[in-house]
Amino acid sequence: MNIGFIGLGAMGRAMAHNLVAAGFDVTVWNRSADKCQPLVDAGATQADTPADCARADVLITMLADDDALAAVIDEHDLITALGDNTVHVNMATVAVETGRTMAARHAEAGKAYVAAPVLGRPDLAAAAKLNIVAAGPAAAIETARPALETMGAKLWPAGDDAFRANVIKLATNTMLVSAVETMAEATSMSAAYGIEPGDFLEIITHSVFGSPAYLGYAPAMEKRDYDNPEGFKLKLGAKDIDLALRASRAQNVPMPMGAAARERLAEAMAAGDGELDLSALGEAARRSAHLDD
Ligand code: NAP
């Protein structure tokens, strides 16, 4: 099977490596072209333009956000460039409206579109242990299944309408960001009473909160070391909460916890922490409690 892969950020490069290692014929493109070299060294082909990836059996896009997707799709006329039987699988976390409009634009052009956002950080992507939520035409998901199952531990079908997978991903990330925020607050509260962050985090992650949502972010919070190119950028977490709040408001669904987490993310980004890992919410909580004054 031929696979085109666009977007070799923290997630995309790990996922593309697994496809190459599994023996798929992979063609890669990334805006910053230098990021293609490790994939080429592993056996992939480097494309000159995104359109050169679009004639594969499956085109995977793993770009930062809606703007990045729009830039690649529209500036390079990517939908037109897709082969007649190519399935476009968008694995990034994007807006619910994007799920709807992308599905409609592809359908109008007679092309297949699947939304398949992922649950899991880059280390899980590297270990091929992602949970992948896929929605779109059943036949298109079946075409993409071998690639998706290579990158993930489990494929969760979410129906025929692509936007449904985007809803599930955004709802999940509202919980994730809120979880990291409450862990940061509780760690600061304990620290104010002289309890070492590492001691507190060890207890909670080995008892009532022993889930990946907490385990993935506790070590960086303990070490206060948030500069991780293989992490989940705090500004991408803010993007996800914005998209979730927009989607919830469109249906008059109150999400007060998500809105509160978004305020803390704003504070962290104003302090210059947007490029750091989401666990840097730990620092925002410390600052607001004046723990280091
Ligand atoms: P990342 O490391 O920031 O990589 C972003 C990718 O998008 C890079 O390839 C970047 O190209 C490209 N890009 C950004 N703006 C662009 C533009 N205007 N035109 C073309 N390309 C552009 O992000 P990531 O962590 O891999 O995340 C990718 C997606 O997965 C996001 O939607 C994120 O929300 C989601 N996600 C992330 C995690 C995680 O833990 N990191 C987990 C689950 C889902 P350059 O290399 O040129 O900058």
The burial class, CB within 10 Å (0-12 / 13-18 / 19+), for 70 is: middle
Same structural domain, 197 and 147: no
Segment holding 87, helix H or strand E: strand 87-90
Rounded to the nearest whole angstrom, what is the distance from the C-alpha of residue 10 to the centroid of ligand 1? 7
pLDDT of residue 54: 97
Same structural domain, 181 and 260: yes
114 belongs to a structural domain:
yes
As a whole number, mean pLDDT of residues 177-199 equals: 98
Rounded to the nearest whole angstrom, what is the distance from the C-alpha of residue 141 to the centroid of ligand 1? 23
Rounded to the nearest whole angstrom, what is the distance from the C-alpha of residue 232 to the centroid of ligand 1? 9
Q: Is the four-CA dihedral 95, 97, 101, 106 of positive or negative sign?
A: positive
Nearest residue to 17 via CA among 3, 31, 33? 3
Nearest residue to 277 via CA among 242, 225, 203? 225
Same structural domain, 267 and 175: yes
Q: Read off the pLDDT band of 263 (50, 70, 90).
A: very high
Residue nearest atom 18 of ligand 1, based on CA coordinates: 68
Same structural domain, 90 and 7: yes
pLDDT of residue 44: 98
The CATH code of the domain that includes 202 is 1.10.1040.10
Average pLDDT, the chain: 97
Same structural domain, 156 and 171: no
Same structural domain, 131 and 215: no
CB of 36 closer than 6 A to ligand 1? no
Query: At which residue do the structure tokens 């109150």 appear?
Result: 254
pLDDT tens, position by position, 203-231? 999 999 999 999 999 999 999 999 999 99
What string of DSSP letters covers 43-67? T-EE-SSGGGGTTSSEEEE--SSHH
Given 103, 130, 161, the domain boundary residue is 161
Instruction: Identify the DSSP state of 135.
Output: B
Q: Determine the atom of ligand 1 nearest the C-alpha atom of 119.
A: 43
The CATH code of the domain that includes 155 is 3.40.50.720
Query: At which residue do the structure tokens 């809120």 appear?
Result: 178
CB of 8 closer than 6 A to ligand 1? yes
pLDDT tens, position by position, 77-94? 999 999 999 999 999 999
Rounded to the nearest whole angstrom, what is the distance from the C-alpha of residue 63 to the centroid of ligand 1? 4
pLDDT of residue 248: 98
Task: Count Cα neighbours of 120 within 13 Å in the Cβ-side half-sphere.
Answer: 25
Choose the residue to mutate in 5, 6, 8, 11 for probing ligand 1, maximizing ligand atoms within 8 Å of C-beta.
11
Residue nearest atom 12 of ligand 1, based on CA coordinates: 63
Same structural domain, 140 and 233: no
CB of 236 closer than 6 A to ligand 1? yes
Global pTM value: 0.97
Same structural domain, 153 and 200: no
293 belongs to a structural domain:
no
As a whole number, mean pLDDT of residues 25-50 equals: 98
Residue 231, both tokens: 């992490």
Rounded to the nearest whole angstrom, what is the distance from the C-alpha of residue 36 to the centroid of ligand 1? 14
CB of 50 closer than 6 A to ligand 1? no
Same structural domain, 153 and 178: no
CB of 31 closer than 6 A to ligand 1? yes
Residue 164, both tokens: 């449904």
As a whole number, mean pLDDT of residues 42-67 equals: 98
Same structural domain, 29 and 109: yes
pLDDT tens, position by position, 2-22? 999 999 999 999 999 999 999
Residue nearest atom 22 of ligand 1, based on CA coordinates: 68
Q: Determine the atom of ligand 1 nearest the C-alpha atom of 121.
A: 40
Active site members:
169
pLDDT of residue 170: 98
As a whole number, mean pLDDT of residues 253-264 equals: 97
Segment holding 221, helix H or strand E: helix 218-223
Q: Is the four-CA dihedral 261, 97, 170, 55 of positive or negative sign?
A: negative
| Number of domains forming the structure of the chain | 2
pLDDT tens, position by position, 145-154? 999 999 999 9
pLDDT tens, position by position, 62-76? 999 999 999 999 999
Q: Determine the atom of ligand 1 nearest the C-alpha atom of 230.
A: 41
Rounded to the nearest whole angstrom, what is the distance from the C-alpha of residue 218 to the centroid of ligand 1? 23
What domain range is 176 assigned to?
A: 167-288
Given 143, 161, 179, the domain boundary residue is 161
pLDDT of residue 56: 98
CB of 141 closer than 6 A to ligand 1? no
Given 138, 161, 184, the domain boundary residue is 161
CB of 118 closer than 6 A to ligand 1? yes
